[in-house]
Structure 1
Amino acid sequence: MLSNALANKTIFLTGSSVVMSVKELITQHGGQVYCYPLIETVEKETNEDQIYLCNLTAYNWLIFTSQNAVKYFVNKLERALITLPSTIKIAAVGEKTAALLKKHGYLIHFIPTVYSADVFIKEFQLQSNERALFVRGSMAKSTIRDGTGADEWTVYETHAHQRYVEDLKERIRNVPNPVVIFASPSAVDVYANEVATSIAWDQVKIASIGHITTAALANYGITPSVQPKIYTMQAVIEQLILEESPT
């Protein structure tokens, strides 16, 4: 039986993509949910693409840390009519990233125990005779490159998304018990610069996915009320439900 744990709660998702199952989970438990993406991604197309597409067989591993990287990588392969060689192994950070790779027919050969780049480089073992290619977005830090020696291919760029800022502020001001969920440092920065300047941080409950996002919040003196050990949107909602459920 579903609880009514999120009744009178209004949850704001600020990422560039939204999983329908998460929205359903929120409404099933009595909450309202709004999606106001504070960042957007666009494919990056440069001469570098052709270089990497023509030299994929030089790599033993491909490393993905986001669904967007998978999406734009697949787009590039499909346009070039290239099939990924079966000899290449794939490492994925995050269950959603892995799921999207599997959806496109790719086998996953390595996933870290915690979905973060710093844990990845501790657990991932690249042999001395192997080469890896990190398929990344423009905002990805150098952690994986520095920790593994992987080459980097930037397949998409992340930009601040101003379109929804005013609507988000207006909605927060007029709903009960707003909860804002952040899934990336980029979204935190946009919120801090565009929203928190007129709506105090303590007027909302903050939830964070991942310790990197939490560190970005700490830069503004904010400690999230919700930060699950599992770095997924599903885990955030489940923790909210657990905390709000009657004992």
Structure 2
Amino acid sequence: MVNKFPLSGETVIFTSTKKSEEPFDLVKQLGGSPVSYPLIRTVERICEEDHERLVQAQSYDWLIFTSQSAVAAFKQKLQRFGLEPTNFQLNVAAVGDKTAYALEQMGLGVDFIPEVFSADVFVQQFNPEGDSLRALFIKGNLAGTLISTELSLTVDEWTVYETLPEITSADQIIEIVKDQASVSILFASPSAVTVFKERVAPETGWTGFTIGAIGHITERALREAGAPVHAMPETYTLPELVRTLAESKGRN
């Protein structure tokens, strides 16, 4: 008999910033109790050069976004200076369906998405035709260097947001892990893994709960931190991670 509620009795902790109700609703449908305790938060980086950078951005051939946070910060800058997405008559690349959706909702069409939602796959698959092409990578302060250094076209960077630890969430996660009998913790970025390693793991270790990861980069960060990874979906989204978690629980 198929277990319709494989997450029954399970507290599922999301350590990324809540951007959609879909994964939380899915946990409930599968019998679990979702809670949101982001281990990181993002804030727009505001600089005197922002307007100048926006004007310069319109001269590039491509804009590259790898996160919804970068899209949100870019949108805030447009609004602050009274600019419209229609001012940007260029190509746009996005890593991930959610990032692409955020761009389209803002009014920017998306011309390229890699098959796997990861920067290392992006640099393998993104090879636009043309001579002397220039791209602007719109990023956070913790973004890696792959996109800036491994593409064949010229890439400039613009850091539009900062990623900061959310210490209060770490304390709450410690309480849940110690008090609840069955807990799953889901990670969507290496940054969240770092905060967990520094703020939570010294109190809880890496055992006694189920660990899920989105993407091989996050999985690698967990394993390097000494953690097991029990669930990782082939498609790098939170709903797919929840489904993969449910499948693993249903087999137990």
User: Do the aligned residues in 2 keep the contact of 1:2 with 1:29 (CA within 8 Å)?
Assistant: no
Match of 1:198 in 2: 203
RMSD: 1.7
Kindly provide the amino acid, as one letter, of the partner of residue 21 in structure 1.
Answer: E
TM alignment of 1:21-60, pairs within 5 A: 21-60=22-61
- 8 A Cα contact 1:18 1:35, kept in partner: no
Identity percentage of aligned residues: 36
CA distance in 1, matches of 2:150, 2:251: 45
Q: Deviations over 1:8-30 (max 9, x none)?
A: 11110001234211111101111
Alignment of structure 1 residues 173-192 onto 2, 5 Å: 173-192=178-197
Per the alignment, residue 93 of structure 1 pairs with 95
In 1, Cα distance between the equivalents of 2:58 and 2:203? 52
Q: Which one is further off, 80-89 or 154-163?
A: 80-89
Paired residue type of 1:107: G
Aligned-partner Cα distance in 2 for 1:222–1:128? 45
Q: C-alpha separation between the residues in 2 aligned to 1:221 and 1:45?
A: 36
Equivalent residue runs for 1:67-82 within 5 Å: 67-82=68-83
Alignment correspondent of 1:166: 171
Contact 2:231 2:248 in 1 (8 A): no
4+ long deviations beyond 6 Å: none
Match of 1:128 among 117, 127, 131: 131
Q: How many residues align?
A: 247
Q: Note if contact 2:189-2:218 (Cα within 8 Å) is conserved in structure 1.
A: yes
Deviation at 1:86, TM superposition (A): 4.8
**Residue 111 (1) aligns with residue 113 (2):** yes
Structure 2 Cα separation of the partners of residues 240 and 118 of structure 1: 25
CA distance in 1, matches of 2:176, 2:118: 32
* TM-score, normalised by the number of residues in structure 2: 0.93
Indicate how the Cα distance of structure 1 residues 136 and 89 shifts in structure 2: closer, same or farther if over 3 A, else same: same
- Superposed CA deviations along residues 28-56 of structure 1, whole A, max 9, x for unmatched, are 11101111111111100113312211212
Q: Provide TM-score, normalisation by structure 1.
A: 0.95
**Equivalent residue, structure 2, for 1:228:** 233
Structure 2 residues not aligned, in runs of 5+: none
Partners of 1:156 and 1:57 in 2: CA distance: 19
In the alignment, what sits opposite 2:144?
141
CA separation in 1, counterparts of 2:22 and 2:208? 27
Q: Measure how far apart 1:103 and its partner are.
A: 0.9
3-state SS in 2 of match to 1:8: coil
| Distance (Å, rounded) in 1 between the aligned partners of 2:58 and 2:109 | 16
Q: 1:35 is matched by which residue type in structure 2? A: S
| Residue 157 (structure 1) aligned to one of 159, 162, 173 | 162
Cα distance in 2 for partners of 1:164, 1:58 equals 41
SS at match of 1:120: helix
Contact 1:12–1:33 (Cα < 8 Å) also in 2: yes
- Which letter maps to 2:59? A
**More displaced 10-residue stretch of structure 1: 162-171 or 65-74:** 162-171
Q: Unpaired segments of 5 or more residues in structure 1?
A: none
C-alpha separation in 1, matches of 2:212 and 2:26? 16
